[in-house]
Amino acid sequence: MVITANQLTSPHGSDVLKPLLINGDERLSELDRARGLLSIPLTTRETSDVLMFGMGAYTPLDGFMGQKDWQGVCSEMKLESGLFWPIPVTVSVSQEIADTIDPGQDIALCDSENGEILAILNVSEKYSIEKQLECKTVYKTTDENHPGVQKVMTQQPVNLGGSLKVLSEGEISKQFPELYLTPAQSRAAFTDKGWSKVAAFQTRNPMHRSHEYLTKIAIEITDGVFIHQVLGALKPGDIPADVRTRAIQAMIDNYFVPGTVIQAGYPIEMRYAGPREALFHALIRQNFGCSHLIVGRDHAGVGDYYGPFDAHKIFDEIPADSLQTQPLKIDITFFCKKCDGMATAKTCPHGKEDQVSISGTQQREMLSTGVDIPKEFSRPEVVAVLRDYYNGL
C-alpha cells in the first residue's frame, strides 16, 4: 500500500520542512555578493551545522541561536518560543572580529579547510556565554578530556545569532552522493516504499553483530530501518566513512531481507553529549520522517562520562509532547554461547561466562592488532572489508 507523506512524522515544530539552502539564480547572486562581505572561517562543528541547516534537518530554526535561545536550551531544553530543543547550535568569533560587526550586518561563513563560502549570516545579535554552564548542563561535565567539552571551551568568546542563507551543500554531498539524503528525500524514499513506521539507527562505526541484532529487532516492529550514519568529522581512530559504508553494505547485502533497510548518511558532527544528544538525534530524525530512534547502550556517549542507560532514562524526563519520534530502548546486547545466538539480559538467563560482549572499540583494537575476530562478534563479509582497510589495501 502506498502511503502519503502526512502519515510520516511532522517536521519538528512546523507543518513543513524549512531547508535554508537557496538555489538557482538567487544562489548565484548571493554567492557573488558574499565574496564582498566580511568572511568568517568556521570550525568543523560549525560547518556541519550550516550543512544541517541547509538540508532542513534543523527545522524550524532559521539560523544560529541568539542568547535567549542559547540560555533556554542549556537550562531547560527549550527555545525562547517554548519549543523543545536539547542542544545549543551556535557560531562564535573572536572579540576583535565581533567589534567590527554591527547588528543587521551580513557576513560570509566559510569552510576553514577549503575556503568555500557556505552561507551568509545576517547578524541579529552578539553575546558572550558561560562556557562552564553549557558544559555542565549539556555535557554533564567540565572535564576538557571530553571531546564535546573541549570544543566548547576552545571556541571563540563571542557568539553571533542570526538568520542564514545557505549557499552550498559542502564537500560531503559530493563525496557520498548515493548516501547523502536530505529530510525531503528520505521522506520521499519512505513514501515510495510504503513505510510509515520507520526506525532510525544512528552510527559512526561499522556494524557488528550487536548492531545487526538491534536493527533486526526494529524491523520486526516497524516497516523498515533507516541506517543513518555520521558523515561529519569523527574522533581520531574512528574508521573513515567510505570504509564504514562498504562494511555496512556488506552486512545489508548478506544478512537482511531486501527492501527492509535504507542506508544513508548526513553531515552532522558528533558532540558526544550522551543523553542530551540522544534527544537531539530523535528530533533530527523526526525531521527526516522517522517514527522511532533505536537507543542502545550509552547512545552518543564517550568514555565513562555517562551511564549505559542514561540515554534511555532522559526520554522519560521530558514532557510527552516534546517529540513525535520515540525511542526504541534496547538492553545491552551480546552473543550467548549457550543460547547460541544474540540476546539481551531480558532474554538470556545465562551467566557472563557464556556471554561474548561486543563493542566497536573492541573491534577496532582487534583489527589494529591483527587478532582474529570471532564469528560471534562480526560477520566475515564485514571483517573482510575492514581487514583490507587496516592492511592498507
Active-site residue set: 204-205
**d(C-alpha 357, C-alpha 102), whole Å:** 56
**Which burial class, exposed, middle or buried, applies to 288 when counting CB atoms under 10 A from its CB (0-12, 13-18, 19+)?**
buried
Alpha helices in the chain (DSSP H): 24-34, 44-55, 67-76, 95-98, 131-134, 147-154, 170-175, 183-193, 209-221, 241-255, 275-288, 310-313, 360-369, 380-390
| Beta-carbon contacts of residue 157 (< 8 Å; ≥ 6 apart) | 92, 94, 95, 98, 128
**ω into residue 60 within 30 of 0, thus cis?**
yes
| Beta-carbon contacts of residue 393 (< 8 Å; ≥ 6 apart) | none
**Residue whose C-alpha is closest to residue 251's, from 177, 326, 201:** 201
| Beta-carbon contacts of residue 391 (< 8 Å; ≥ 6 apart) | none
